[in-house]
């Protein structure tokens, strides 16, 4: 086979999985990233983009399937971008997640880590998410079969489901999602069918026409309760009024007693919303429990999405911090206190810092609900130029727990941590590349003793990673603690 720049197809053996979930192959000094391929596949791939050192490709034909390839259970697999690894055996999913973490620390950051622990697997691989946010759309994603069919296409101007990857304007109509609780699928289909029956229009983000915007379904493992939040624009048509009437009256009455029903008018142009709501039935919060601490979860607040893994995850973080009864602890990017409050049971005093005032409000609510007195929460921008002087107002910690957003820490904060130089840091991250980068910045003073991948997101390439850092034994950093 001639391998020139005009070649559109190439036979490849998939060697590994990239951090983005695609298969990786190498041929003639080129790296190929093949969507939908899994390690061990031999495929005929169609090249869709060629660069100087790599190509992007899609599978044209699977010549020899990998021993690790399995049949996805979801009919939307390959179209919906949510579960890109449903075709990969779970033991291999957690293997490659660990490898991605190792690659980040070794190849990207150039760090020597004493121990890379095995990935802690999720108790459940399906039906584990406690929150799903579905979108309504007036431009339904059409399957290849529909496009090629000569039959009339129905409901092409209405969908309730998930966005197609990279397309904010296209919604894949979802009948069944295998990562949310099974009862959530009943709710999803019931609301879709009624919207079609009343001929209610989905909201369009460009024209700002339409009524239905989002459907959020939340659940609690601890209390076995659910919360349904319907987000709509203002009423414009008679059909909008009829649908909303049905939602307030019949739908809410049909729901079991353990399900709360809420409605929110979202009339702004922004797709992100954290506003007021109406309680139609039940209450406006759920209760979840972590290590004996109860947490109140409001309709739009952030909370880890895998409740089945959460207790194990938080306990591991707290145990790794090695907190004692005389420890002063800082929890940076504390959110609603999901790490801070369990850690408070072991500490003398703990301080949680977070820029979001609503999260701090939730954290204080959770603190009061559990009668905890040694946890303190403050709304502070941890990336500001003044962060050093702001944090110096608080007692100096002997332990720091860090759980930043995907982008990692700002250099201003890293400098403060280096100046304080506590004996131990536990760095939690959902992005091992930025975590490794930050650990490299800290490596002048700290060494990474261990890294433990935690699978909170089965069927995807995403991974949580817990790194334990200890201060190097140098006289200049020794504060005789």
Q: Are 38 and 62 in contact (CB under 8 A)?
A: no
How distant, in Å, are the alpha carbons of 6, 318, 333, 341 from that of 396?
63, 19, 17, 19
Residue 334 appears among annotated catalytic residues: no
DSSP state of 233: -
Please report the pLDDT score of residue 7 as a whole number.
63
CA 273 to chain centre: 18
Distance CA 79, CA 236 (A): 33
Q: What confidence score (pLDDT) does residue 481 get?
A: 43
Q: Which residues lie below 8 Å from residue 249, measured CB to CB, with a gap of 6+?
A: none
pLDDT in tens, the chain (481 residues): 334 446 689 999 999 999 888 999 999 999 999 999 999 999 999 999 999 899 999 999 999 999 999 999 999 998 887 899 999 999 999 999 999 999 999 999 999 999 999 999 999 999 999 999 999 999 888 877 777 777 777 778 899 999 887 776 789 999 999 999 999 999 999 999 999 999 999 999 888 899 999 999 999 999 999 999 999 999 999 999 999 999 999 999 999 999 999 999 988 777 676 678 999 999 999 999 999 999 999 998 889 999 999 999 999 999 999 999 999 999 999 999 999 999 999 999 999 999 999 899 999 999 999 999 999 999 999 999 999 999 999 999 999 999 999 999 999 999 999 999 999 999 999 999 999 999 999 999 999 999 999 999 999 999 999 999 999 986 445 544 4
- Residue 86's pLDDT is 95
- pTM of the complete model beyond 0.75: yes
What's the CA gap between 465 and 453, in Å, rounded? 4
E strand spans, 212-252: 212-219, 226-232
Domains of the chain: 9-69 (2.40.50.140), 91-125+306-471 (3.40.50.150), 131-289 (2.40.50.1070)
- pLDDT attached to residue 206: 86
Determine which one of 55, 80, 83, 430 is catalytic.
Answer: 430
Confidence at residue 388, expressed as pLDDT on a 0 to 100 scale:
93
Cβ within 8 Å of residue 80, ≥6 positions away: 74, 161, 162, 164, 172, 174
């Amino acid at each position: 086979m001639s391998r020139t720049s005009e070649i559109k197809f190439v036979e490849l053996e998939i060697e590994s999985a990239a951090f983005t979930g695609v298969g990786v192959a190498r041929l003639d000094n080129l790296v190929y990233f093949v969507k939908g391929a899994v390690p061990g596949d031999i495929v005929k791939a169609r090249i869709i983009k060629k660069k100087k050192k790599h190509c992007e490709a899609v599978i044209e034909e699977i010549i020899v399937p990998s021993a690790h390839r399995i049949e996805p259970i979801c009919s939307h697999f390959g179209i919906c971008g949510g579960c890109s690894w449903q075709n990969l055996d779970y033991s291999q999913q957690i293997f490659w997640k660990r490898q991605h973490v190792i690659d980040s620390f070794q190849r990207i950051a150039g760090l020597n880590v004493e121990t890379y622990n095995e990935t802690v697997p999720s108790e459940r691989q399906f039906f584990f998410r406690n929150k799903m946010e579905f979108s309504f759309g007036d431009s339904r994603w059409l399957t290849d079969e529909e496009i090629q069919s000569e039959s009339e296409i129905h409901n092409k101007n209405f969908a309730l489901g998930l966005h197609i990857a990279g397309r904010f304007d296209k919604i894949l109509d979802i009948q069944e999602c295998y990562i949310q609780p099974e009862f959530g699928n009943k709710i999803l289909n019931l609301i879709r069918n009624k919207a079609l029956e009343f001929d209610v229009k989905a909201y369009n983000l460009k024209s700002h026409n339409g009524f239905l915007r989002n459907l959020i379904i939340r659940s609690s493992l601890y209390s076995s309760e659910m919360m349904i939040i319907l987000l709509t624009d203002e009423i414009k048509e008679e059909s909008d009024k009829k649908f909303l009437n049905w939602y307030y009256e019949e739908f809410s009455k049909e729901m079991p007693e353990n399900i709360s029903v809420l409605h929110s008018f979202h009339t702004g142009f922004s797709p992100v919303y954290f506003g007021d709501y109406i309680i139609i039935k039940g209450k406006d919060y759920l209760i979840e429990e972590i290590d004996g601490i109860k947490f109140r979860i409001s309709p739009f607040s952030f909370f880890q999405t895998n409740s089945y893994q959460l207790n194990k995850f938080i306990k591991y973080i707290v145990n790794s911090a090695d907190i004692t009864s005389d420890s002063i602890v800082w929890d940076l990017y504390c959110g609603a206190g999901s790490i801070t409050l369990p850690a408070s049971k072991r500490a003398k005093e703990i301080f949680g810092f977070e820029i979001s005032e609503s999260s701090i409000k939730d954290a204080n609510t959770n603190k009061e609900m559990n009668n905890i007195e040694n946890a303190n929460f403050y709304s502070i921008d941890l990336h500001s130029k003044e962060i050093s002087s702001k944090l110096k107002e608080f007692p100096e910690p002997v332990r720091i727990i860090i759980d930043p957003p995907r982008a990692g820490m700002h250099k201003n904060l890293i400098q403060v941590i280096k100046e304080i130089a506590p004996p131990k840091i536990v760095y939690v991250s959902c992005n091992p590349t930025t975590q490794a980068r930050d650990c490299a910045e800290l490596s002048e003073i700290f060494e990474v003793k261990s890294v433990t991948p935690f699978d909170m997101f089965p069927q995807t390439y995403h991974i949580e990673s817990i790194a334990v850092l200890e201060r190097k034994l140098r006289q200049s950093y020794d504060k005789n603690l």
